[in-house]
Amino acid sequence: GAVVSQHPSRVICKSGTSVKIECRSLDFQATTMFWYRQFPKQSLMLMATSNEGSKATYEQGVEKDKFLINHASLTLSTLTVTSAHPEDSSFYICSATLGTALSVGYTFGSGTRLTVV
């Protein structure tokens, strides 16, 4: 089945530093990947849509200069949290579509727990 790999699973960084999170589709080409953020005991909130070879589309209220998204290939999208602050501590999850038809659900990565100290 379709697998999305996310790395790292956990990361702790100092306030003011940047952190990069990788999302890879292992056995399929994902033209579109999505990045979500989930705070404790809350739901997933879409941050941005990442399309291969083009600029990401950010949801309202998400700072594009703070959350840099790169989708350089059909199997890799990266999210970089720049100048991280404690309020950026969250669970970040990516997902990828399996194709252009809505025949299957979207596959999610295992998530990255970011803690900014």
Partner 1 sequence: GESVGLHLPTLSVQEGDNSIINCAYSNSASDYFIWYKQESGKGPQFIIDIRSNMDKRQGQRVTVLLNKTVKHLSLQIAATQPGDSAVYFCAENAGGTSYGKLTFGQGTILTVHP
Q: Which of 74, 82, 106, 115 binds partner 1 (CB under 8 A)?
A: 106
Write the binding mask 46 to 65 for partner 1: x where contact by CB under 8 A, - elsewhere. x--x----------------
What are the angstrom distances between the C-alpha of 90 and each of 14, 26, 65? Answer: 14, 25, 18
Least CB distance from residue 5 to partner 1, whole Å? 11
- What's the token pair of residue 17? 């530093």
Q: Which of 21, 111, 114, 116 binds partner 1 (CB under 8 A)?
A: 111
- Helices and strands, counts by H and E, the chain: 0, 11
Contact flag: residue 12 with partner 1 (CB under 8 A): no
Contact flag: residue 3 with partner 1 (CB under 8 A): no
Q: Which amino acid is at 21?
A: I
State the pairing for strand pair 112-116/10-13: parallel
Q: Which of 6, 75, 78, 90 binds partner 1 (CB under 8 A)?
A: 6
